[in-house]
Amino acid sequence: LKMLLSKDLYKDFAKDIEDQNDKKQKRETTLVALLQSEVKDVKLTKTTASITVLFASEQISIVRDKEGAIIEGDASTTLYMEDTWVFERDLKSRNPNWTIIDT
Per the DSSP assignment, residues forming a β-bridge with 83 are 55
- Per-residue pLDDT at 2 exceeds 90: no
- Strand boundaries in the chain, DSSP class E: 26-45, 48-64, 70-73, 79-90, 99-102
Backbone angles phi, psi at 65, to 5 degrees: -85, -175
Distance CA 75, CA 64 (A): 11
**Which of helix, strand or coil describes residue 68?**
coil
DSSP states of 7-33 as a string?
HHHHHHHHHHHHHHHHTT-EEEEEEEE
pLDDT in tens, 47-66: 999 999 999 999 999 999 99
Cβ partners under 8 Å of residue 4, min gap 6: 97, 99, 100
Question: What's the pTM value of the predicted model, to 2 decimals?
Answer: 0.85
| Helical residues (DSSP H) of the chain, grouped into ranges | 7-22
Give residue 7's pLDDT.
94
Per-residue model confidence (pLDDT) at position 21: 92
The per-residue pLDDT for range 9-55, each reduced to its tens digit, is: 999 999 999 999 999 999 999 999 999 999 999 999 999 999 999 99
